[in-house]
Amino acid sequence: MKEERKQTSQSERKLSEQKEPNLPKEERPPHLCPICGQMSQKSAYPFCSSRCRAIDLNRWLSGAYILPPSSQISDEEE
């Protein structure tokens, strides 16, 4: 099972390399804020501002974002 996970992670890594290869900064696609869609700022990455960062944190703390239990994840892999 560990070998399957290694293979999956390696294939996922290859896929991500194909999507966004190591390009010079001028040629990289812009990173957009996941909250409002504006350009992300280096000081608040991956968000555009501390306001959007706080909104995201509030969503995590209020339960708007929920991760499935680990037992449910392992059942789906089989």
What DSSP letter does each residue of 22-51 carry, written as one string? ---GGGSPPPBPTTT-SBP-GGGTTSSSHH
Question: What structural domains does the chain harbor?
Answer: 2-64 (3.30.50)
Among the residue ranges 51-55, 57-61, 68-72, the one predicted with the least confidence is 68-72
Stretch 48-54: mean pLDDT = 96
Per-residue confidence at 54, pLDDT binned at 50, 70, 90?
very high
What phi and psi, each to the nearest 5 degrees, are found at residue 32? -100, 150
Q: What is the pLDDT at residue 1?
A: 46
End-to-end CA distance of the chain: 10
Look up residue 68 and give its amino acid. Answer: P
Strand pairing partners for 32? 39
Q: In the structure encoding, which two tokens stand for residue 32, read together?
A: 């957009």
pLDDT (tens digit, 9 = 90+) per residue, 16-29? 555 556 766 666 67
Q: Which residues belong to the annotated binding site?
A: 33, 36, 48, 52
Q: Which residues belong to the annotated binding site for Zn(2+)?
A: 33, 36, 48, 52
Instruction: Provide the whole-model pTM.
Output: 0.52
Task: To the nearest 10°, report the CA torsion of 21, 30, 54, 58.
Answer: -60
